[in-house]
């Protein structure tokens, strides 16, 4: 008998060779029907694999991320089997589970495939799933494995095998399909009740753009049809919130082929919104001791040679700008840091001056690959809410705190409630690849960790993810649909102060090198507005939204009163429009609802007599009549609540 410890720390005895499924059955039949895989001593494996020693066991179901992963990985195999049945002779690359489903990279040879074929593949998958084929694990020798795939002509699998050690190779067999696979898998294909193939795309073999491009088929499966239906609704909702669509509908920004790809044009409403975001941050930063600076959009090539960016990115950037002077070259500014370093150097700095905090909404230009461009999230010209803090190594911690306070204020004002702080530190096994003294790194890494703990934030630490020039902290927000977006970033830099020979005179009257901190709480204005659009579905917080209210006169007779209301509100700094078209109230309301204007103020005979407006809240319906002054106070109060102390 062996002792099995369950997650609630209860210990049960089972005979040697017990499987996860047996354990589940001993608890309840229902559980056994839902077990997808098990965790044995923190390693996920098949629920059908026998256990021979005492172990800590967790049964994994659809409610566990690892359980889902097992199911999706098995689904990739099942899809491969279906595709092999429909397209004999195809060759397989890899087929892993991913965050939302799975994919398989397949070489279809000269057989054409498109998303039109999804229907018949899905049908085949479900047909195979209903066969409840078991996933059978087999240990094979390397030569056996190579023989198998050689006879099948699967050169990709053979290449994968070459990288594996003999003795560690396993096959999984389900139905007519056998695959090189570490596992684990679900007990049988019967768990897969609903399937949706999502899209199809090219993908380089082993991620190498010099190698052959395979066809990647993406899909997702579920244990219940209802879950698939819910997922499809989610996809629909995400589509509705696409910032590119909303940006067009709400007239915030546009693109023009003539202007150039990846170069957004901010329309009046979008520009005003962006300006409000900037004003908000400027106010916050002023309080936090930042000083605004301004820099030109181009810089001499020497500046970027000093910073090192020319050597690293010069070739893949916008071509340099030449002048009538022989050999003189300028670059479009790809980042603001080198300019700010030069501002720091304008005069000698004393330790008493530090920290120096230089802020700029700096527009930069980067030549992103054409296929990379995407709405406002990936563009070739964008504006960073940039600032550089020059401080002593001892001040790093306090400066981090200060920046985090700013980020938190922003998240609050924009209603991002769910976020993760990701801290990127050195690779502990590879310390020599980092620039800067061990002592300073130590200090900064400790400071960052401590700040996160003191603020009690949901933190993940990524070892080895730091840039060669310093550790960093990124903020990942979850939007209203649970999707993760990277926004703000704080980055320590030991490199640029060195390259630009930045100095300050310490209390010991000696020269010292300051630490530089890059930080951008929004990331970029473009990206931030995009995320905000997708998060709010275009219903911005009241303080930020382009138009806060619209006056809707019932008919021309009430035009004068409507204009009076308009003036009073605009004088009270409530951004208000008027819809004086010759239309019925219903039409005006519908249009205002679609433009997502937070408050509609219907005025007619009654309102004119009483000096009121009938307030209708976007998405909520009629709130009834209010005195104009009451409405103003109400709006001002709402805004105060949203902005907190910044107002």
Partner RNA sequence: GCCGAUGUAGCUCAGCUGGUAGAGCAGCUGAUUUGUAAUCAGCUGGUCGGCGGUUCGAAUCCGUCCAUCGGCUCCA
Positions touching RNA (CB under 7 A) are: 114, 199-204, 207, 209, 213, 215-216, 244, 248, 255, 257, 261-262, 309, 312-313, 316-317, 334-335, 337, 366-375, 378, 467, 554-557, 581-587, 589-590, 593-594, 600, 602-607, 614, 616, 619, 621-622, 625
Complex with RNA: residue 58 or 366, whichever CB lies closer: 366
Query: Which residue is associated with the tokens 């995320």?
Result: 531
Closest to RNA by CB, 606 vs 640, is: 606
**Can 620 be counted among the known catalytic residues?**
no
Nearer residue to RNA within complex by CB, 176 or 590: 590
User: Distance between CA atoms of 74 and 354, rounded to whole angstroms?
Assistant: 58
Is 384 an active-site residue? yes
Q: What is the 8-class DSSP label of residue 297?
A: S
Least spacing, CB of residue 86 vs RNA, in Å: 18
> In a 3-state reduction of DSSP, which class is residue 534?
helix
Of the candidates 133, 384, 491, 626, the residue annotated as catalytic is: 384
The C-alpha atoms of residue 607 and residue 611 are separated, in whole angstroms, by 6
- Cβ atoms of residues 178 and 152 within 8 Å: no
Q: Residue 62 has which token pair?
A: 């659809």
Q: What angle do CA 445, 446, 447 make, to 5 degrees?
A: 90
Catalytic residue, chosen from 46, 97, 386, 493, is: 386
The closest of 447, 543, 527 to 479, measured between CA atoms, is 527
Q: HEC string of 489-525?
A: EEEEECHHHHHCCCCEECCCCCEECCEEEEEECCCCH
Active site residue 386: yes
Give CA–CA dist 302/320, Å, rounded.
12
Shortest Cβ 373–RNA spacing (Å): 6
Of the residues 333, 388, 512, 513, which is catalytic?
388
Whole-Å CA distances, 556 to 92, 407, 565, 584, 590: 70, 48, 15, 11, 19
Name which of 335 and 396 has its Cβ closer to RNA.
Answer: 335
Quote the CA–CA distance of 318 and 368 in Å, as a whole number: 9
Residue 280 exposure: Cα atoms within 13 Å on the Cβ side:
26
Structure tokens at 273: 């919104």
The one catalytic residue among 472, 513, 535, 588: 472
Q: From the CB of 116, what's the least distance to RNA, in Å? A: 9
Q: How far is the CB of 39 from RNA (least distance, A)?
A: 28
Q: Reduced to 3 states, what is the DSSP secondary structure of residue 66?
A: helix
Minimum CB distance to RNA, residue 418 (Å)? 22
Mark whether 564 is an active-site residue.
no
- For residue 380, the Cα-to-chain-centroid distance in whole angstroms is 19
Q: Looking at 87-188, list the stretches that DSSP marks H as alpha helix, in order from N- to C-terminal side.
A: 118-130, 142-152, 155-162
**Which residue bears the tokens 């997708």?**
534
CB 370 within 8 A of CB 378: no
> Considering beta carbons, is residue 272 or 585 the nearer one to RNA?
585
Cβ distance to RNA smaller for residue 128 or 466: 466
Look up tokens 């138009």; give the residue: 547
- Is 64 part of the annotated catalytic residue set? no
And the tokens for 405?
Answer: 């306070």
Strands 177-180, 515-520: parallel, antiparallel or unpaired by DSSP?
Answer: unpaired
CB of 339 to RNA, least distance (A): 13
In the complex with RNA, the residue whose CB is nearer, 173 or 583, is: 583
295 as an active site residue: the answer is no
Closest contact distance (angstroms) between CB of 618 and RNA is: 7
**Could you tell me the smallest distance in angstroms from the CB atom of residue 288 to RNA?**
22
Q: How far is the CB of 514 from RNA (least distance, A)?
A: 18
**What is the full DSSP assignment across 439-508?**
HHHHHHHHHHHHHHHHTT--EEEEET-SBTTB-EEEEEEE-TTS-EEEEEEEEEESHHHHHTT--EE-TT
| Catalytic annotation, pick one of 181, 295, 337, 341 | 337
Q: State yes or no: is 584 an active-site residue.
A: no
User: Between 175 and 625, whose beta carbon lies closer to RNA?
Assistant: 625
Contacts of 70 (CB under 8 A, 6+ apart): 36, 37, 44, 60, 97, 184, 185, 186
CA 405, 410, 413, 414 torsion: positive or negative?
A: negative
Tokens 């109230």 identify what position?
585
For the chain, the maximum distance between any two Cα atoms, rounded to a whole number of angstroms, is 93
Cβ closer to RNA: 38 or 389? Answer: 389
Residue from 137, 274, 397, 518 carrying the catalytic annotation:
518
Q: Which is nearer to RNA, 51 or 335 (CB)?
A: 335
C-alpha angle 42-47-52 in degrees, rounded to nearest 5: 70
Nearer to RNA, 142 or 248 (CB): 248
Query: Which element (helix H / strand E) includes 135?
Result: none
385: nearest Cα among 288, 274, 496, 304: 274
What's the min distance (Å) between Cβ of 213 and RNA?
A: 4
To the nearest whole angstrom, how small is the minimum distance from the Cβ of residue 489 to RNA?
9
Structure tokens at 572: 């009270």
| Alpha carbon separation from 251 to 169, 214, 363, 381 (Å, rounded) | 57, 39, 22, 19
Q: Please identify every residue annotated as catalytic.
A: 337, 366, 384, 386, 388, 472, 518
């Amino acid at each position: 008998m062996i002792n099995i410890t369950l997650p609630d720390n209860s210990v049960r005895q089972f005979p040697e060779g017990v499987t996860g499924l047996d354990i589940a059955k001993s608890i309840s039949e229902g559980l056994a029907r839902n077990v997808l895989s098990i965790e044995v001593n923190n390693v996920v494996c098949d629920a059908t694999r026998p256990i021979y020693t005492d172990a800590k066991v967790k049964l994994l179901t659809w409610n566990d991320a690892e359980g889902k992963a097992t199911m999706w990985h098995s689904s990739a195999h099942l899809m491969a089997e279906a595709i092999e049945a429909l397209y004999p002779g195809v060759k397989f690359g890899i087929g892993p589970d991913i965050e939302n489903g799975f994919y398989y990279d397949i070489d279809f040879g000269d057989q054409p495939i498109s998303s039109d074929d999804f229907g018949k593949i899905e049908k085949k998958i479900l047909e195979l799933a209903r066969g409840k084929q078991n996933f059978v694990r087999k240990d094979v020798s390397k030569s056996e494995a190579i023989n198998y795939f050689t006879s099948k002509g699967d050169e990709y699998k053979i290449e994968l095998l070459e990288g594996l050690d003999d003795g560690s190779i396993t096959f999984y067999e389900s139905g007519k399909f056998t695959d090189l696979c570490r596992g684990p898998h679900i007990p049988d294909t019967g768990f897969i009740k609903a399937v949706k193939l999502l899209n199809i795309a090219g993908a380089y073999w082993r991620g190498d753009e010099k190698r052959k491009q395979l066809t990647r088929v993406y899909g997702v499966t579920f244990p219940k049809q209802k879950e698939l239906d819910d997922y499809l609704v989610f996809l629909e909702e995400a589509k509705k919130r696409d910032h590119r669509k909303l940006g067009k509908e709400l007239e915030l920004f546009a693109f023009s082929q003539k202007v150039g790809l990846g170069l957004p044009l901010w329309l009046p409403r979008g520009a005003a919104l962006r300006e409000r975001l900037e004003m908000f941050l400027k106010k916050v930063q002023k309080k936090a001791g930042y000083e605004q600076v301004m820099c030109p959009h181009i810089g001499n090539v020497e500046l970027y040679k000093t910073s090192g960016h020319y050597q690293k990115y010069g070739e893949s950037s916008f071509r340099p700008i030449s002048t009538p002077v022989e050999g003189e070259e300028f670059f479009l500014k790809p980042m603001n840091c080198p300019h700010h370093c030069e501002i720091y150097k304008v005069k000698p700095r004393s330790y008493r001056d530090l920290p120096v905090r230089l802020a700029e909404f700096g527009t930069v230009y980067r030549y992103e690959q054409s296929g990379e461009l995407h709405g406002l999230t990936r563009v070739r010209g964008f504006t960073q809410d940039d600032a550089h803090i020059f401080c002593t190594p001892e001040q790093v911690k306090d400066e981090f705190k200060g920046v985090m306070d700013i980020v938190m204020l922003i998240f609050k004002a924009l209603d991002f409630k769910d976020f993760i702080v990701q801290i990127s530190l050195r690779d502990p096994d590879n310390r020599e690849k980092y620039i800067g003294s061990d002592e300073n790194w130590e200090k900064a890494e400790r400071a960052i960790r401590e700040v996160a703990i003191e603020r009690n934030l949901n933190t993940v630490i990524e070892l080895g993810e730091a840039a060669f020039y310093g550790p960093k902290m990124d903020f990942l927000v979850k939007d209203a649909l649970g999707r993760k977006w990277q926004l703000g970033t704080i980055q320590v830099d030991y490199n640029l102060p060195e390259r630009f020979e930045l100095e300050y005179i310490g209390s010991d009257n000696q020269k010292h090198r300051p630490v530089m901190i890059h930080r951008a709480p929004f990331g970029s204005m473009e990206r931030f507005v995009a995320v905000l659009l997708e998060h709010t579905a275009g219903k911005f917080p009241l303080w930020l939204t382009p138009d806060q209210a619209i006056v809707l006169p019932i008919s021309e007779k009430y035009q004068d009163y409507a204009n009076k209301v308009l003036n009073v509100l605009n004088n009270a700094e409530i951004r208000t429009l008027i819809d004086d078209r010759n239309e019925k109230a219903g039409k005006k309301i519908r249009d205002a609802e679609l433009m997502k204007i937070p408050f509609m103020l219907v005025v007619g005979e009654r309102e004119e007599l009483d000096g009121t407006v009938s307030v209708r809240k976007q998405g909520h319906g009629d709130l009834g009549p209010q005195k104009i002054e009451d409405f103003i106070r109400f709006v001002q109060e709402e805004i105060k609540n949203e902005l907190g102390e910044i107002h």
